[in-house]
Amino acid sequence: MPARKEVEPSPPGVPGAVTDTELVEAFDVDFAGAQGTRINGYLARPAGAARPIPGMIVIHEAGGLREHIRDVTNRFAAAGFLALGVDLYTREGGPPPTDDMQAVMARLFSMSDATVVGDLAGAADFLRSHGECSGRVGCIGFCMGGRHTLLFACMGEHLDAAVDCWGGFIDKATFEQRSTSERPTPPLEIADRLSCPLLAAIGAEDGNPSPAVGEQLRARALQSGQEVKVDVYEGAGHAFFADYRPTYRPGPAAKLWAEILPFLQRHLAGA
């Protein structure tokens, strides 16, 4: 195990806040992704908890594996999971400049879905092979990570539960195109292949994905025979859980966290 990292406390009052940092142990790790490329990650686990525990993949938003996503990973660890925050920008050497939206979009649209799924399969394998993991693994993603979570849950049987938080571009590849070489099939179109229970969250004021797209997701995903729940959160738009952004909405964020934990505990921990 690599050297233990110092865990920072969560911002005050956020859902699932880690206030006692001694309750979480964290490490910088890497794992084998697609084509054998080593992918960077941030692994957090509950200190002193009975083992084994379920694994949880946490996929970042467009801003990358930054402080907020590491904190969310810590929150899952404090809740009893072996949580792995993945850095899907490892190949590019980090995220694009977050103040340059054109660069952000260009980066997102250039990422290969096949490579991303391969990297996430590597993350699931890493967790399942970890001596502290029970063998059951879930995944949650935000914004671009929500799209990747849905895609991953529909392209193989790697997961035991999936949480898609406002995954954008699930119904198209770019603003103008339904399909590209990098993004050949919109996740919405293969949602009937869903391989595990799904919880999806959408802001009522969001346009990508809109509540209407959420209804399409619900209908298509239910064809898989899996448990599907798509919740629309009133008074919230895109990225309402991101407590460092002006889009943050404390009430809907708290409600979402209160939905996520029982869902994961039921499907991953058997609670």
Q: How confident is the model over 50-70, as pLDDT tens digits?
A: 889 999 999 999 999 999 999
Q: Which of 218, 212, 199 is nearest to 258 (CA)?
A: 199
- Structural domains of the chain ordered from first start: 4-269 (3.40.50.1820)
pLDDT score, position 1:
61
CA distance 23 to 74: 9
pLDDT score, position 233:
98
The pLDDT tens digits for 100-156 are 989 999 999 999 999 999 999 999 999 999 999 999 999 999 999 999 999 999 999
Token pair 């394998």 is at which residue? 125
CA distance 11 to 131: 31
pLDDT score, position 271:
44
pLDDT score, position 4:
87
Beta-carbon contacts of 29 under 8 Å, excluding residues fewer than 6 positions away, are: 2, 40, 41, 42, 43, 84, 126
Angle at 243 between CA 121 and CA 106, to 5 degrees: 55
pLDDT score, position 65:
96
Q: What is the pTM of this model?
A: 0.97
**List of the chain residues with pLDDT < 50:** 271
pLDDT score, position 95:
87
Q: Which of 235, 260, 238 is nearest to 247 (CA)?
A: 238
204 touches 249 (CB < 8 A): no
